[in-house]
């Protein structure tokens, strides 16, 4: 099985937010939650870069380690998913996540924050693939249909890559060789404990 | 005339084109080596080294989303998964082991001269009410809190995921809502008992003589001896610490950022573990550790001989105030 990863080529991202919109629409993510977002660093200054970031589906995922009810599981494609039926909304995964990926529908409601929501790599949840129950809780399951995450498919400049980690790393490497520069695979060291030599 | 002008236009046009091409050729030849936009670009490693966090501008209303990377969570993970369980387990199991050993060696501290049959009021109904409200909340908070720390290791395999989630969800509600009466209880305790709990010279003497718990000496004490004063201050300081850090966790992002909440959890976890251990000691002395102690907080009265043995100065004071022991409170069954 492939080891799925995300890679955002910051030298190509034009901050069009198509990935953000695609994600919100595909999964009907409720108002106030964002599974993916684009952040511009050094905005308006020389050397500014925009990066699209969501859950990176980490190797040895910190969120899964700290969850007090062990509601995370990793699929055969190394996608990190969780069960909203088991989540108690404690907020711990958010404390542990290096990418700020977990989100809560009720911020600051002391009874509960509600069930945690995050990027599923368009792979749904524990329910039957593409069942209405799965869609209601986690959104579409494109992976089960043999499709890659919509954010990356939608990316107008193909800055955001999704797919087998080895293949997208290869694509990125070729780009770097061809154009002669590359600012690196953002988040890879933190998420996958490896980086792409450029 | 017009034809001449047209010729001139073509010639000028051709010349201009030639000029553009000539000028562009060297630039094109240079391009691969001359332009490297990443040379000036922001660099992930460098940003992380500077702040251990990467943030920028984003267009979402939730401005927390503008932070894309903060690997600090990994240290917190280590704390939560390794350090905290060890600290809590050693403190709590260590205290239990200590109490068992102590009980086996020392046994229950008896009322030396037996019961006199005369009792004196030690805690009035308000004091007992506050004590038991706080104590009940504390026990539930401790169980539901420790469930967060140890539940998935100890209970999840036994209960299965669904039942464990239902239990933990209720535990979380209990933890969150009972924090309010607990906090009020700690505030009340700190106010109603501050008078007897300021450390003084008698405590030094009491400690030097082993407090009557170590050895068989019975150093005189006022209403609260040094050990009880220690418990008071553990409750006041520990209770304040868990309340403050607990509310920071319960109201995320009100006045804290993610690093602040990680720190709050670290303090909450460590203080809770030590707090539970200290309270186990307190419960021991109040029940099986000492004859005649439980009724002080149970019925509110203590036997005169118990009072003389453990709180001689307090008994004198009470008598001087005219609160002499009375023969009331016939006990259906002796404590033994
Ligand atoms: C006074 C008010 C208190 C408040 C507001 C409070 C709040 C919290 C919150 C919000 C959490 C995070 C988990 C969750 O959401 O359920 C937590 C965890 C915890 N609390 Fe409290 N708490 C309080 C008192 C106590 C007391 C008195 C104890 C112990 C005797 C305690 C022990 C714990 C423990 C052990 C954890 C889990 C730590 C971990 O493993 O991460 N808490 N508390
Ligand atoms: S990015 Fe965050 S939520 Fe996603 S797998 Fe890693 S730690 Fe978990
Ligand atoms: S919020 Fe839910 S998923 Fe996250 S750690 Fe808590 S129980 Fe687990």
Q: Each residue of A124-164: pLDDT tens digit? A: 999 999 999 999 999 999 999 999 999 999 999 999 999 99
pLDDT-based confidence at A107, cuts 50/70/90?
A: low
- Look up the CATH number of the domain holding residue B174: 1.20.950.20
**Stretch B305-320: mean pLDDT:** 90
The answer to whether position A48 is within a domain reads yes
Q: If you measure CA to CA, which chain B residue comes closest to A104?
A: B252
Q: If you measure CA to CA, which chain A residue comes closest to B171?
A: A88
| Full-model pTM | 0.87
Per-residue pLDDT reduced to its tens digit, B255-276 = 888 889 999 999 999 999 999 9
Q: Atom 2 in ligand 3: which residue has the minimum CA distance?
A: A87
**Stretch A41-48: mean pLDDT:** 86
Residues 73-132 of B with CB under 8 A from A: 73-74, 76-77, 80-81
pLDDT the model gives residue A1: 64
pLDDT-based confidence at B76, cuts 50/70/90?
A: very high
Cα maximum dimension of chain A: 54
The answer to whether position A197 is within a domain reads no
The answer to whether position B3 is within a domain reads no
DSSP string, A44-89: TSTT-EEEEE-----TT-HHHHH-TT--EEE-TT--EEE-TTT---
pLDDT-based confidence at B11, cuts 50/70/90?
A: low
**Stretch B217-239: mean pLDDT:** 91
Per-residue pLDDT reduced to its tens digit, B183-210 = 999 999 999 999 889 998 888 888 888 7
Per-residue pLDDT reduced to its tens digit, B144-198 = 999 999 999 999 999 999 999 999 999 999 999 999 999 999 999 999 999 889 9
- Look up the CATH number of the domain holding residue A154: 3.30.70.20
The answer to whether position A151 is within a domain reads yes
The answer to whether position A198 is within a domain reads no
Number of domains in chain B: 1
pLDDT the model gives residue B30: 46
Chosen from A96, A99, A184 to mutate, greatest number of chain B CBs within 10 A: A96
Q: Does the ipTM surpass 0.90? A: no
The answer to whether position B333 is within a domain reads no
| Rounded distance between C-alpha atoms, residue B223 and residue A49, angstroms | 69
- Two tokens at B10? 């073509």
Residue A49 lies in domain: 4-192
Per-residue pLDDT reduced to its tens digit, B26-44 = 444 444 455 666 667 777 8
pLDDT-based confidence at B6, cuts 50/70/90?
A: low
Q: What are phi and psi of B194, to 5 degrees?
A: -60, -35
The answer to whether position B26 is within a domain reads no
The answer to whether position A43 is within a domain reads yes
Size of interface A-B (CB pairs under 8 A): 169
Cβ count within 10 A of residue B48: 16
| Rounded distance between C-alpha atoms, residue A138 and residue A125, angstroms | 6
Q: What share of chain A is helix, strand, coil (3-state, %, to 5)?
A: 30, 15, 55
pLDDT the model gives residue B298: 93
């Amino acid at each position: 099985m492939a080891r799925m990863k995300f890679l955002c080529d910051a030298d190509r991202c034009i901050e069009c937010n198509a990935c953000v919109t695609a994600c919100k629409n595909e999964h009907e993510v409720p108002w106030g939650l964002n599974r993916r977002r684009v952040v511009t660093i050094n905005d308006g200054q020389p050397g500014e870069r925009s990066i699209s970031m969501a859950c990176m589906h980490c190797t040895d995922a910190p969120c899964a380690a700290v969850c007090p009810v062990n509601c995370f599981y990793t699929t055969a494609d190394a996608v990190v998913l969780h069960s909203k039926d088991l989540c108690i909304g404690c907020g711990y995964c958010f404390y542990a996540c290096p990418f700020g990926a977990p989100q809560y529908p009720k911020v600051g409601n002391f009874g509960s924050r509600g069930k945690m929501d995050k990027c599923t790599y368009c792979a749904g949840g524990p329910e039957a693939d593409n069942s209405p129950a799965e869609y209601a809780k986690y959104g579409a399951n494109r992976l089960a249909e043999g499709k890659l995450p919509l954010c990356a498919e939608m990316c107008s400049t193909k800055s955001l890559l999704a797919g087998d980690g080895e293949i997208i790393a290869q694509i990125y490497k070729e780009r770097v060789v061809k154009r002669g520069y590359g600012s690196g695979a953002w988040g890879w060291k933190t998420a996958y404990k490896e980086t792409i030599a450029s | 005339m017009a034809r001449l002008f047209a010729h001139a236009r073509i010639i000028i046009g051709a010349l201009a084109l030639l000029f553009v091409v000539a000028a562009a050729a060297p630039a094109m030849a240079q391009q691969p080596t001359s332009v490297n936009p990443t040379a000036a670009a922001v660099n992930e490693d460098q940003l992380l080294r500077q702040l251990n966090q990467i943030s920028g501008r984003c267009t979402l209303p939730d401005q927390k989303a503008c932070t894309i990377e903060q690997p600090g969570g990994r240290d917190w993970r280590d704390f939560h998964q390794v350090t905290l369980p060890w600290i809590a387990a050693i403190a709590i199991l260590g205290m239990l082991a200590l109490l068992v050993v102590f009980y086996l060696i020392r046994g229950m501290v008896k009322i030396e001269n037996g019961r006199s049959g005369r009792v004196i009021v030690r805690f009035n109904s308000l004091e007992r009410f506050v004590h038991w409200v706080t104590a009940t909340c504390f026990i539930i908070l401790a169980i539901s809190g420790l469930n967060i720390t140890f539940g998935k290791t100890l209970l999840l395999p036994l209960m299965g995921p669904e039942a464990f989630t239902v239990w933990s969800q209720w535990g979380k509600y209990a933890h969150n809502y009972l924090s309010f009466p607990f906090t009020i209880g700690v505030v009340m305790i700190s106010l109603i008992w501050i008078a007897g709990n300021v450390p003084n010279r008698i405590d030094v003497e009491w400690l030097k003589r082993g407090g009557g718990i170590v050895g068989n000496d019975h150093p005189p004490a006022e209403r609260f001896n040094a050990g009880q004063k220690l418990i008071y201050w553990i409750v006041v300081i520990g209770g304040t610490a868990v309340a403050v850090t607990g509310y920071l966790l319960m109201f995320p992002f009100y006045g804290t950022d993610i690093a602040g909440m990680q720190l709050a959890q670290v303090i909450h976890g460590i203080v809770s573990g030590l707090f539970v251990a200290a309270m186990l000691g307190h419960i021991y002395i109040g029940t099986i550790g000492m004859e005649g102690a439980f009724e002080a907080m149970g019925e509110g009265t203590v036997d005169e001989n118990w009072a003389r043995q453990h709180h001689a100065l307090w008994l004198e004071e009470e008598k001087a105030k005219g609160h002499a022991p009375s023969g009331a409170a016939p006990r259906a069954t002796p404590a033994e």
